[in-house]
Structure 1
Amino acid sequence: MSYETLQDNSGKLQKEMSRKALLGSTVGTIIEWYDFFLYATASALIFPKLFFPTTDPYMATILSFATLATGFLARPLGAAIFGHFGDRIGRKNALVITLWIIGISSTLIGLLPTYNTVAIWAPIMLITLRILQGIGVGGEWAGAILLSMEWGNRKKKGFSASIPNAGVGAGMLLSSGAVGLCISLTGDSFYVWGWRIPFLISFILLIAGVIIRKRITETPSFQRVTEGNQVAKTPILEVLKHYPKQILFVGMAKFSEHIPNSVFSIFMISYVTGSFSISPSYMVNLNTFTSFLMCFTIPFFGYLSDKVGIKRLYMTGIIANLIWVFPYIAFINTKAPIIIAIATIIFVFTHNVQAGAQPALVAQAFPARLRYSGAALGTQVASVFAGGIAPMVCAYLIHSTGTLYSIGVYVAVAAIIGSIGTAFLKNLSSNSVTNTKEDHLGSLNTNVNS
């Protein structure tokens, strides 16, 4: 076979596998983040009443958000476990396992007895399942963006890596839509049994996601690492030894994106419905609309990052977030539903600038042989502080200071930390196995012959 024919066949195979990888990574991400945001919404609206009914409303909210935080605490463990397997046995295999863990955990939450039935065992079982869910999520995000980026067009890394991140918005959209629909259909019965329906749907989504991901072939980048006998024996230990600063800077960059997301998608639902005369369904529907916007704006900003520079766009998003956060708080304080909606939508846009550029920014911070471990560890350790405890911190700040502007300060500090981390973060994606055209074609032919 001539080189031209080989190149042409490999190009077609590359496009086909790229489409499958985009579909598999994004659909899987949608499913896993559907489960995650479903729990987050429930922690704001449902769990305080059903699993912590003997405490005062403030403590019930804190305890409910604490169960949300346990999932974040488990994320670094998931990052270590699946970062190891992702850099040892491949991106695809690790991602199938994470999907099973989160899907089964979420389904079982929908079957849990409440506090009125089994007393203290109810929150204990809830926390246990939440920890398992957190372990799965801890290994999911990095693998999904790598699967998409490493199969995608090398000149469009920002766009390719951003597509699974749009799945986060789609998962939020799906979960918010499911909760909103169940509230409408079940009415007063929502807090009795209606809340269980969205969790039980997870099992159907799980089966669909596993089938799709099973059909994906391992990425060329990981195949080259394998063919070059450069697979790390202990990826987590090696990335900690050789790239500790990169992990730190990735974590700092994550702060400026994750904390605002926790504020507008989790905490504000609880705060606005509890403090103002605004119904939970209104805030859930607002969350649904902003999630819809994320599905399109995140890939757009991923595309834009390839044009203007990934790091440059990410820094632009940080600055936009910093500028808008205090006007956002002022708009929330008006207590007017339409003004709150407008303020939130703008806040989502400033956040999405970062969410579009972040996947490629993080993935390129590590060489291919340690990329899964580095990306997972850097983001998921930070998520404990940037996402896990953020709703509790917000509740504490308002309770202690009596003003919503304290949350604005919290977000502003996160933006400063994020800008420092981003400024010092290096692109190490070239520190890998030689990435020549012949290597790429060889990897593709291995797929054809297997």
Structure 2
Amino acid sequence: MQTSTTSSSAQAKGGPPKKGIFAASFVGTSIEWYDYYIFGTAAALAFGTLFYPEFSPVAGTLAAFGTFAVGFIARPLGAALFGHFGDRLGRKPMLVLTLVLTGGSTFLIGLLPTYAAIGVAAPLLLVILRLAQGFGVGGEWGGAVLIATEHATPKRRAIYGSFAQFGVPMGVLTSNLAFLAVSGLTDEDFLSWGWRIPFLISFLLVILGFIVRSKLEDAPAFEKVKKQDKVSKVPLVELVKQHPRNLVLGSLAAIAPPAVGYTVTVYMLTYGTTEVGYERSTLLALIMSSTVVWMVTIVIAALLSDRFGSKLIYAIGALTAVVWPFPMFALVNTGKVELAFLAFAVAAVVQGIMAGAQGGLFTEIFDVRVRYSGISIAYQIGGMFGGALTPIVATALFGAYGSSTPLALYVTGLSLVSLLTVIGLKVNRGSDSTPESASVKN
């Protein structure tokens, strides 16, 4: 199958409505990632005590991170389901559904009774809501990227794809800002009611996101396929049959960004406070500040990707991810605030390079008929291995060895996998079909 690269008359007249696309992609994704990241912050700071009080401090932290990881397990399932309907019905309706599901789950977590109130039912309900939250996020990223990149010409895909990528650091920024606002409370007040505030705020954010996305028009590349009656009947089956290589390699290539990201935004909150001695508010402020570097790097990397190719820029980012973990832990271990900020700022550059290239890259490795399913599943599988396991493995490794060296080695190893696999990806910058599917007959 071969589809045209010019997707709408709007483009022919000077380009698609950038402001509307940016708002739908960036604002909605920022809200979704805010919802997702506040759980990670709460898992590091409060959930072990509130929902697993019967455990030792280390075991409680592991249990809280385990609950955090459950969301990642649900994400590939959400990617498959929302990807299926996104490839059959359109990108826009799935983006509205993912926003409501994720935001609603987050709001309910803020109302959840703790173990002291209802016993073992509390952690069980927390797991259920985390599953629902992860399920919604599973379909978010792919739709948000495609609603932007499929409005763009091939030479502008990376910069349009970066609209959704801004949502990740913005989610980190706003979630940490929300917890920073309540970090001045006494430990008693924070654990009693303060931790709930960031979750309850989600209700207002979801309303904002719903308004923005309800005004959105669907991606023209998909609309063209729909008008030609070439929509895939079973996108997942077609994806596995026609794109097995890129699906596997894309999933492995997607491991490095969350491996570095969740080491900083989740694990460091526990490690920095309990093992190195930083104040909780200090670490939150440092991580929050580093997101500015993250966002600036995304823009630069996206512009470079459109000029030199997303694959090359992503590979460079993966290489920096291989190199940085050891210096990062060494700087944090000094206990000096300025050196810790340097550690987080460079980590933000590492993530930003890959994030700036990723939207354009993943759009170019799958055919438009199965693209929502393909990029969603690849991204979420990478997130599961890179994000869900990293805080758990890091906690266990430090508990076993009492040193940050095995932790750094682990993150370096994951990043090396991404570096090697991105090299093997087959991309096509000039068409809405990849080389592997260009000859597929419908």
TM-based fold match above 0.5: yes
Matches within 5 A, 1:175-324: 175-184=175-184, 188-324=188-324
Query: Within 2, Cα distance between the matches of 1:376 and 1:287?
Result: 27
Q: Distance in 1 between matches of 2:419 and 2:9?
A: 44
1:315: how far off?
1.1
- Indicate the residue corresponding to 1:27 in structure 2: 27
More helix by share: 1
The alpha carbon displacement at 1:162 in A equals 1.0
Equivalent residues of 1:228, 1:433 under 8 A apart: no
Compute the displacement of 1:299 (Å): 2.1
- What displacement does 1:198 show? 0.9
SS in 1 for 2:324: helix
Moved more, 182-191 or 41-50: 182-191
Structure 1 counterpart SS, 2:201: helix
The number of equivalent residue pairs is 428
Contact 2:155 / 2:429 at 8 angstroms: preserved in 1? no
- Give TM-score, length-normalised by structure 2: 0.93
- Determine the C-alpha separation between the residues in 2 that align with 1:12 and 1:244: 34
2: distance between equivalents of 1:123 and 1:292? 34
Report how far residue 297 of structure 1 moved. 2.1
Counterpart for residue 443 of structure 1: none
**CA distance, structure 1, for counterparts of residue 192 and residue 110 of structure 2:** 12
* Paired residues of 1:167 and 1:295 also in contact (CA < 8 A): no
Q: CA deviation at 1:63?
A: 0.1
Instruction: Assess, with a 3 A threshold, how the Cα gap between structure 1 residues 140 and 302 changes in structure 2: closer, same or farther.
Output: same
CA positional deviation for 1:132: 0.1
What residue number does 1:389 align with? 389
Q: How far apart, CA to CA, are the structure 2 residues paired with 1:390 and 1:185?
A: 29
Give 1:224 shift.
1.0
Q: Which residue of 2 aligns with 1:89?
A: 89
2-structure distance, mates of 1:80, 1:313: 28
Quote how far apart the aligned CAs of 1:8 are: 12
SS in 2 for 1:192: helix
State the alpha-carbon separation in 1 of the partners of residues 47 and 8 from structure 2: 56
Deviation string 1:143-187 (CA, Å, 9 cap, x unpaired) is 101111111343211111012101111111111101101223677
Report the Cα offset of residue 431 of structure 1.
6.5
The percent identity for this pair of structures is: 36
Q: Structure 1: where are the runs of 5+ without partners?
A: 1-6, 435-450
Equivalent-residue separation in structure 2 for 1:84 and 1:294 (angstroms): 32
Residue 251 of structure 1, CA deviation: 0.9
Aligned to 2:72: 72
Amino acid at match of 1:305: S
Match of 2:37 in 1: 37
- Structure-1 separation of matches of 2:387 and 2:114: 26
Q: Post-superposition shift, 1:419?
A: 1.3
- The 8 Å contact of residues 258 and 383 in structure 2, kept in 1 or not, is answered as yes
C-alpha distance in 2, partners of 1:111/1:236?
A: 37
Q: What displacement does 1:428 show?
A: 4.6
Structure 2: 5+ residue stretches without partners: 1-6, 435-442
Contact 1:44 1:270 in 2 (8 A): yes
TM-score calculated relative to the size of structure 1: 0.91
Q: Return the letter of the residue paired with 2:405.
A: Y
CA distance in 2, matches of 1:113, 1:134: 20
Report how far residue 10 of structure 1 moved.
3.2
- Residue 102 of structure 1 corresponds to 102
Which AA in structure 1 matches 2:146?
L
Contact 1:269–1:283 (8 Å) recurs in 2? yes
Q: Which amino acid aligns with 1:74?
A: A
Match for residue 427 of structure 1? 427
The C-alpha deviation readout for 1:4-52, integer Å capped at 9, x for no partner, is: xxx9973487645332112111100000000000001000001011111
Whether the aligned pair in 2 keeps the contact of 1:224 and 1:433 (CA below 8 Å) is no
CA distance in 1, matches of 2:283, 2:433: 49
* Other-structure match for 1:359: 359
1:73, distance to aligned residue in structure 2 (A): 0.3
* AA aligned opposite 2:28: G
Deviation at 1:296, TM superposition (A): 2.5
What is the CA distance between 1:238 and its match in structure 2? 1.1
What is the match of residue 162 of structure 2?
162
Q: Secondary structure of the residue that 2:338 maps to in structure 1?
A: helix
Distance 2:334 2:120 in 1: 39
Q: What's the offset of the Cα at 1:123? A: 0.4
Q: CA deviation at 1:433?
A: 7.0
**Superposed CA offset, 1:100-125 (max 9, x none):** 00010000000000110001011001
Letter of the 2:345 partner, please give it.
I
**Root-mean-square deviation (CA), in Å?**
1.9
Aligned to 1:151: 151
Question: Aligned in 2, Cα 1:30/1:340: closer, same or farther, shift over 3 Å?
Answer: same
Q: How much does 1:324 deviate?
A: 2.2
Provide the C-alpha distance between the structure 1 equivalents of 2:273 and 2:284, rounded to a whole number of angstroms. 10
| C-alpha deviation, 1:300, in angstroms | 2.2
Q: Indicate the residue corresponding to 2:4 in structure 1.
A: none
Counterpart contact for 1:225–1:433, Cα < 8 Å = no
